[in-house]
Amino acid sequence: MRGRWYDLNGNVSRLFALLDSKAATEIKGEEFKPMRLSQVSIHQQKHFDADMGLIEFSRMTARG
């Protein structure tokens, strides 16, 4: 199965934004304050797009 992958609820984009925030606080030497994924804002990102690209799933069969 192959097709386009859409991050319709934005959780993948939120996860990347959260990881970026954590890395930025470490670089600044500040303490990272944990937050829920739902609290991470992605609507301020300049280039937010739900289209994440192509994805392909394949079924592997066991050889034996």
- Binning the chain into helix, strand and coil, the percentages to the nearest 5 are 35, 15, 50
pLDDT for the residue 6? 86
38 vs 30: CA distance, rounded Å: 22
Helices (H), 1-62: 11-28
pLDDT for the residue 27? 95
40 vs 33: CA distance, rounded Å: 12
pLDDT tens digit sequence for 5-48: 888 888 888 888 899 999 999 999 999 998 998 888 876 655 56
